Amino acid sequence: MNLPGGWELILVVLVIMVLFGAKRLPDASRSLGRSLRIFKAETKGLRDDDRTPDDDRTVADTPAASPPLPPAATTDQPQQRQP
């Protein structure tokens, strides 16, 4: 499929200007830009809604490893009394 060349593009632009008028083209492009901005914001909102709360956790939010516990006293050894 061939893309239109220089003269074809100029002809298409002229036909569009004749059909819509030079005054309506900037308004139409402005409306199109606003619509695309709204669409982008809505799709971003949908993506954010699909995320689970666990996805937002960072390394700082995860519980730190607890320090090792001291060895438990065994009953095999006699306890020392302090005077």
Domain spans, the chain:
22-51
Residues 13, 38: Cα–Cα separation, whole Å: 27
Residue 47 has what pLDDT? 86
Dump pLDDT digits (tens) for 14-36. Answer: 888 888 887 888 888 899 899 99
Residues 18, 12: Cα–Cα separation, whole Å: 10
Dump pLDDT digits (tens) for 41-71. Answer: 999 988 888 776 655 555 555 555 566 666 6
Decide: 17 and 25 in contact? Cβ < 8 Å: yes
Name residue, tokens 């005054």.
23
| Residue 58 identity | T
7 φ, ψ to 5°?
Answer: -65, -35
Residues 37, 20: Cα–Cα separation, whole Å: 23
pLDDT of 37 > 90? The answer is yes
